[in-house]
Amino acid sequence: AQSVSQHNHHVILSEAASLELGCNYSYGGTVNLFWYVQYPGQHLQLLLKYFSGDPLVKGIKGFEAEFIKSKFSFNLRKPSVQWSDTAEYFCAADNYGQNFVFGPGTRLSVLP
């Protein structure tokens, strides 16, 4: 069965530190990839998505992710985190509308 894994359960960083959250998927063939974020007390919302084209995708709030097909990875990055980035981050994969699967999530705590 298709699956999505995220490397870290909980990441703690100081403000201005760089962030990289790992995501790997097990789908074969063409896949759509997403990062969603859930800020405390708020709805899940989309950070960025990859469907095709440039494997380096830029999203909102300075986040970016790189699709590396050979590694089945879609890691999320931000050069300098802020306290307001404290949230839970979910990677998700979809095979053109089939088998949509979320990863288990990574909780990010940014210390002021």
Partner 1 sequence: ETGVTQTPRHLVMGMTNKKSLKCEQHLGHNAMYWYKQSAKKPLELMFVYNFKEQTENNSVPSRFSPECPNSSHLFLHLHTLQPEDSALYLCASSRLVGDEQYFGPGTRLTVT
Q: Please report, as ranges, the residues that interact with partner 1 according to CB under 8 A.
A: 32, 34, 36, 43-46, 49, 90, 94, 96-98, 100-105
Nearer to partner 1, 74 or 90 (CB): 90
Tokens of 85: 């980035």
Nearer to partner 1, 9 or 70 (CB): 9
* Nearest-approach distance from CB 93 to partner 1, in angstroms: 11
Integer Cα distance of 59 and 12 in angstroms: 22
